[in-house]
Amino acid sequence: MRIIRHISSVPKDLQGGAVAVGNFDGIHRGHQALISHCRGLADGARGPALALTFEPHPRRTFQPDAPPFRLTPFRSKARLLAGLGVDCLVSLHFDLQVSRQSAESFISDVLVQGLGARHVVVGYDFVFGHRRAGNVAMLREAGAKHGFEVSVLEPITHDDDVCSSTIIRVDLETGRCRRAAELLGHWWEIEGRVRDGEKRGRQLGFPTANLHLSPSALRPALGVYAIRFGLEEAGGTVWHPGVANLGNRPTFDGKGIILESHLFDFDRDIYGRHGRVAFVEHLRPERKFDGLDAIKAQIALDCGQARDVLADPANAQDRF
């Protein structure tokens, strides 16, 4: 999948295709349906399938002091979109100046001139342009004028709930990993570079791979989780079962939230490697312990519980 960051840089071979437009935060089941429809239209017309999005997320531009909320930072989003068969991710810079672009200008400058779109795919609640003046009705009228077709997809639901990034954020913030995964259609992940830590886990007999959260990434419920840790191996990802603590490490007066993952039956140096942590089940909240013996005993219990959770076929990595 190619990635393009300037609308003026779209080559001819990527113009004239089907374009799915959205923020795509989480790449949940609703987003997947949108991309699948776009991919089908592109195949039917023998053209490219493109995903058009913006970075940073517009919410960050309008609410710079809001708590971190991103479900999928750019690297994660790009990987998931590539896996869905997108030929090109057009990621346009978003700032206050761009936010003042009129809906009409977005259609003419981006969709028509920049992408030469033959088909545009959006969700039922899609709005765009300055003060969100553009909507699906305007988009359809513009399509008739400029010669592109418009598909508007209805919401995707699961157990009577709409698959939405907002609902998924609430699920993760309250520790409901399985429910979030059911709406996402995949386990939710945090990923990043494995960094050197204070080696306390190794001193306790439970060495950890430590990841620092991206400043923009959502903070799920703090505490201990059953997880799988993914490492890139030979062109793919190999998943290792484990247990992780996400938090401030109150027993040691820690500062800043760190994700510490202990991988079962694993003894390799992975410092500096890129890791992916898939959250399977929230086991308990983070808490402060009275001494090392108490924390070692609890970690052993956590490991046993996590092993049981991960052995359940309902929690398999390929469950969704």
Give DSSP secondary structure letters for 133-160. -B-HHHHHHHHHHHT-EEEEEPPPEETT
CB-based burial of residue 152 (10 Å sphere; 0-12 exposed, 13-18 middle, 19+ buried)?
middle
125 & 64 share domain:
yes
Residue 204 confidence class, pLDDT cut points 50, 70, 90: low
The answer to whether residue 148 is domain-embedded is: yes
pLDDT of 256 reads 77
207: in domain: yes
Q: What is the CATH number of the domain that holds 251?
A: 2.40.30.30
pLDDT value, residue 254:
63
Domain containing 43 — which CATH number? 3.40.50.620
> Does any domain span residue 173?
no
- pLDDT single digits (tens) 114-129: 999 999 999 999 999 9
Q: How far apart are CA 223 and CA 129, in angstroms?
A: 40
**247/135: higher pLDDT:** 135
Give me the residues paired with residue 20 across strands: 51, 121
Q: Are residues 112 and 206 in the same domain?
A: no
Do residues 148 and 189 both lie within one domain?
no
Instruction: Please identify, among 125, 158, 191, the residue that sits at the C-terminal boundary of a domain.
Output: 158
Interior angle at CA 34, CA 231 and CA 213, nearest 5: 35
Of the chain, the percentage scoring pLDDT greater than 90 comes to 82
The number of distinct structural domains making up the chain is 2
**pLDDT digits 0-9 by tens, 48-78:** 999 999 999 999 999 999 899 999 999 999 9
pTM listed for this prediction: 0.92
DSSP 195: B
Determine the Cα–Cα distance for residues 191 and 72; give it in Å rounded to an integer.
9
Cis peptide before 241 (omega within 30 of 0): no
Give per-residue pLDDT as tens, 15-26. Answer: 999 999 999 999
Task: Say yes or no: 195 and 254 in one domain.
Answer: yes
Based on the domain organization, do 190 and 57 belong to the same domain?
A: no
Task: Look up the domain containing 57 and give its range.
Answer: 2-158
pLDDT in the model for residue 196: 77
CB 163 within 8 A of CB 29: yes
Q: Is pLDDT at 202 greater than 80 in this prediction?
A: no
pLDDT at 31: 98
Residues 34 and 89 both lie in one domain: yes
242 with 146, same domain?
A: no
Same domain, 199 and 129: no
